[in-house]
């Protein structure tokens, strides 16, 4: 089928998934113990005031009515109010999202920068010491709990050695944020020519992104290794070698380019991984993102933010996978024909 038709079909198939996602996230918060109205009304509320708050929040309605309210609210951009900040959740979210995105992008970049060469080296020197060591190092990263790794990094690199700055957020205390264009401080500082902010935002990103990158390096390296092995033993590569093309060029040029497709797929999975790991790392590094926001909301039974976080992460994942699939289809015609 043509590319356009495939894209359309793929887009349509996302809709039931998104619908299912809203069902799951609604159900999750519906079953949370505790009364969100009580959180909002406060412990000194009289029973009448509490009932009033419950009525205003629609908590006295049957489940399917509440679900309807929830979904219609989503379409209007009304994600409810946070009991702990007192502000609309959407506002809190929009304010905190860039921090998480910046962390995710930085971690992914770092993971790729280390993981891809590691995978290539392992494939090229298969079954030697290099391969085994690389395998263990990569897998070790995945095997350590992220909070352990994170705090270990803080302890060693901030406290003991003093290389890293204090884990106090995205910028050093006293520095003003650059004017918001994307919300990603690194990019905004470059756009504004604000070099102190640029240096500081990169320095503050170092430890948290290293922690996350360390935990997802392995899947990337492993996928690169497996794909490279397959390609390196394929006919046209063997032919290229036989023809006398320089080894380095063959590996990093032709072989890697072909390996990119499954790598991109893995990146989609890794992205989901990172969005989940964010919650823990943000807590350890006091990073003001949505993961931190969600954990606090979870611990304070603030249902608006929990629902929105869960929903947002899922929707992001669906979109990322959609993009990966579409890229795949554009590049590899066999996919859309199957």
Partner 1 sequence: MPFRRRDVLKLGAASLATASVFPLLCAGAQDLRTLTVAWDTDIDTLDPTAFKSIGAYVVQANVYDSPLMWKVQPEEGKPGLFRSRPNEFDGSAAESWAFEKDGATLVLKVRRGLKLPGGTPVTAHTIKFAFDRGLQSPGYIRLLFPVLLGVKTPEQIVVRDADTIAIEMPSASPMTLDVMALSNNGVLDPDIVKSHATDKDPWATDWMKRNVAGLGPYTLVKNEPGVEVVLEATKDYWRPQPFFQRIVFKFVPNETDRVLLLKRKAVDIVTGRPGLSPRNVKSLEGEAGLKIFTVPDTTCHWLCMNNRKAPFDNVKVRQAINYAIPIQAIIPNVLFGYGAQMKSPLPNLTPSYDEAISPYKYDLAKAKALMSEAGVGPLPITIDLAVRVGWQPHEQAAIWIQRELEQIGFKLNITRETDATFRQVASKGDHQLSIESWQSWINDPFYHLQFNFHSKSITTNTSFYANAELDKLLDDNIRAPDSPNRRAAAKRAQEIIIGDAVWGFLWYDNWTRVMRSDLTGVEKRWDTFERYYSMKFA
Partner 2 sequence: MTEAAASPVSPAVHSRGAEAWRILRRNPVTLAAITIIVVVSVAAALASLIAPFDPNATDPAVALSPPSPHNWLGTDLYGRDQLSRLMYAARLDLLIPFAATLSALAIGALVGALAGYAGRWVDQIIMRAVESVLAFPALVLAMGLTAALGNSIGNIVLTLAITQIPIYIRLIRGEMLRVREMEYAEAARAVGNPAWRIVLVHLLPNCIPPLIVQATLAMGFALLTMAALSFLGLGIRPPDSEWGEMTAEGVGYMVTDEWWLFVFPGLMIMISVLAFNLVGDGLRDFLDPRMRGVRS
CA within 13 Å, CB half, 7: 8
Query: Residue 309 binds what, of partner 1, partner 2, none (CB under 5 to 8 Å, by partner type)?
Result: partner 2
If binding is defined by CB under 8 A, does position 38 make contact with partner 1? yes
If binding is defined by CB under 8 A, does position 140 make contact with partner 2? yes
Cα 189 from chain centre: 22
Query: CB–CB of 309/135 below 8 Å?
Result: no
If binding is defined by CB under 8 A, does position 275 make contact with partner 2? yes
Name the β-bridge partners of 81: 88
Query: Within 10 Å of residue 24's Cβ, how many Cβ atoms?
Result: 12
Q: Residue 177 or residue 315: which is nearer to partner 1 going by CB?
A: 177
Q: What does residue 154 show for φ and ψ, rounded to 5 degrees?
A: -60, -45
H-state helical runs in the chain: 3-30, 36-41, 47-57, 63-76, 89-124, 129-143, 146-153, 185-192, 195-232, 235-242, 247-249, 256-284, 290-299, 303-331, 333-337
If binding is defined by CB under 8 A, does position 70 make contact with partner 1? no
If binding is defined by CB under 8 A, does position 137 make contact with partner 1? no
d(CA 199, CA 216): 25
Q: Compute CA distances 303 → 45, 48, 68, whole Å.
A: 19, 22, 16
If binding is defined by CB under 8 A, does position 163 make contact with partner 1? yes
Applying CB under 8 A, which of residues 57, 79, 106, 279 lies at the interface with partner 2?
279
Q: 322, 256, 313: which is closest to 120 by C-alpha?
A: 256
If binding is defined by CB under 8 A, does position 236 make contact with partner 1? no
If binding is defined by CB under 8 A, does position 43 make contact with partner 1? yes
If binding is defined by CB under 8 A, does position 309 make contact with partner 2? yes
Query: Residue 294 binds what, of partner 2, partner 1, none (CB under 5 to 8 Å, by partner type)?
Result: partner 2
Query: Residue 252 binds what, of partner 2, partner 1, none (CB under 5 to 8 Å, by partner type)?
Result: partner 1
Cα 15 from chain centre: 22
Query: Residue 35 binds what, of partner 1, partner 2, none (CB under 5 to 8 Å, by partner type)?
Result: partner 1
Applying CB under 8 A, which of residues 130, 264, 301, 328 lies at the interface with partner 1?
301
CA within 13 Å, CB half, 240: 17
d(CA 124, CA 116): 12
Query: Residue 23 binds what, of partner 2, partner 1, none (CB under 5 to 8 Å, by partner type)?
Result: partner 2
Q: Residue 159 or residue 195: which is nearer to partner 2 going by CB?
A: 159
If binding is defined by CB under 8 A, does position 191 make contact with partner 2? no
> Which residues in 202-231 contact partner 2 (CB under 8 A)?
222, 229-230
Q: Compute CA distances 148 → 62, 206, 215, 277, 280, whole Å.
A: 43, 17, 11, 12, 10
If binding is defined by CB under 8 A, does position 261 make contact with partner 1? no
Summarize as ranges the residues that interact with partner 1 (CB under 8 A): 33-35, 38-39, 42-46, 49, 82-87, 92, 95-96, 113-114, 116-117, 151, 154-155, 158-159, 162-169, 172-175, 196, 199-200, 202-203, 206, 248, 252-253, 256, 283-286, 288, 292-293, 296, 299-302
Summarize as ranges the residues that interact with partner 2 (CB under 8 A): 13, 16-17, 19-21, 23-25, 28-29, 31-33, 127, 132, 135-136, 139-140, 142-148, 151-152, 155, 159, 222, 229-230, 233, 272-273, 275-277, 279-280, 283, 294-295, 298-299, 301, 306, 309-310, 313-315, 317-318
């Amino acid at each position: 089928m043509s590319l356009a038709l495939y894209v359309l079909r793929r887009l349509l198939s996302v809709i039931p998934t998104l619908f299912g996602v809203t069902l799951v996230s609604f159900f999750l918060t519906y079953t949370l113990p505790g009364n969100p109205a009580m959180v909002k009304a406060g412990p000194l509320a009289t029973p009448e005031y509490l009932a009033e708050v419950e009525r205003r929040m629609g908590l006295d309605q049957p489940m399917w009515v509440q679900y309807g309210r929830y979904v219609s609210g989503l379409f209007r951009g009304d994600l409810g109010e946070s009991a702990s900040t007192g502000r609309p959740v959407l506002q809190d979210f929009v304010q905190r999202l860039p921090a998480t995105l910046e962390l995710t992008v930085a971690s992914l970049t770092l993971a790729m920068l280390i993981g891809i060469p590691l995978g290539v080296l392992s494939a090229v020197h298969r079954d030697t010491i290099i391969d085994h060591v690389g395998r263990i190092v990569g897998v070790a990263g995945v095997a350590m709990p992220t909070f352990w790794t994170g705090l270990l990094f803080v302890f060693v690199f901030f406290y003991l050695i003093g290389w890293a700055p204090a884990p106090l957020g995205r910028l050093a205390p006293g520095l003003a944020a650059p004017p918001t264009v994307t919300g990603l401080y690194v990019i905004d500082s470059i756009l504004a020519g604000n070099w102190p902010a640029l240096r500081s935002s990169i320095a503050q990103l170092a430890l948290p992104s290293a922690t996350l990158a360390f935990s997802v390096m392995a899947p990337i390296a492993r996928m690169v290794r497996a794909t490279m092995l397959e390609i390196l033993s394929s006919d046209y590569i063997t032919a290229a070698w036989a023809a006398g093309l320089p080894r380095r060029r063959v590996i990093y040029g032709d072989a890697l380019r072909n390996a990119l497709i499954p790598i991109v797929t893995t990146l989609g999975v890794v992205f989901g991984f990172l969005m989940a790991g964010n919650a823990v790392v943000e807590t350890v590094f006091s990073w003001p993102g949505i993961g931190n926001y969600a954990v606090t909301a979870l611990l304070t039974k603030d249902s608006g933010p929990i629902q929105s976080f869960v929903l947002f992460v899922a929707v992001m994942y669906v979109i990322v996978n959609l993009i990966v699939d579409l890229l795949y289809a554009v590049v590899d015609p066999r996919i859309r024909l199957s």
